[in-house]
Chains A and B, each alone.
Chain A
């Protein structure tokens, strides 16, 4: 079975500081991993996804994530936070077959000025 753990339900950073949102996964098959972002009062939007082509994945808005099999991790980073990055971020892993996803509990990112 697949599962995702997001460490830290709330993360607070200063504007311009590094953003690091943690995601660890468990999967009985080679994993495919996704990061989605949800801005206030909106649906989810794909930030990036790992589909085994490259371990370092670049996404929209300057975010990137690195797949580390030995650590079963897929942490999301951004070198310099902007106020507009304040949102909730979800990590997800695909199940064994088909297009279903298992989501983590989410991390709310707050950016301080």
Chain B
């Protein structure tokens, strides 16, 4: 089975802090994704990566950056956390960059910024 793990289930940070969210997948997948999930808005794509050191902006990249130094690991960085970044963050991975491929999700990190 594909396993996608996220470093924390719950995280509380203060405004202005630099925040790192880590995601690891164990199935040698090419693609990795970061989403944020908010009630009534579904999932919105922040960034994705289709190869090591490659990244592309999603629909809501402002205030975020990412890093993919190794194939299995994809990090989301909040350079200076703000209260409007309080949300559930979900990481996903998929094997191929095809329209029909399944994305596999981690359990999520619920981030609260005070």
Contact = CB atoms under 8 A, between A and B. Distances in A.
Interface residues of B, number: 28
B62 interface: no
Contacts of B75: none
Interface in A88-109: 90, 92, 94-95, 97-101, 103-106
Interface residues of A, number: 25
B105 A101 contact: no
Contact of B42 (A43, A95, A98, A106): A106
Interface string B27-45: 0000101000000111111
A63 B41 CA distance: 24
B40 A98 contact: no
Contacts, number: 62
Contact of A43 (B31, B98, B105): B105
B50 interface: yes
Contact of B98 (A44, A99, A101): A99
A45 interface: yes
Contact of B43 (A41, A51, A90): A90
Contacts of B99: 32, 94-95, 97-99
A95 B48 CA distance: 14
Given A94-B99, A99-B97, A99-B101, 11 more contacts: A32-B99, A36-B105, A45-B105, A49-B100, A92-B43, A98-B50, A99-B96, A99-B103, A100-B58, A101-B45, A106-B42
Interface of B: 4, 31, 33, 40-45, 48, 50, 58, 90, 92, 94, 96-108
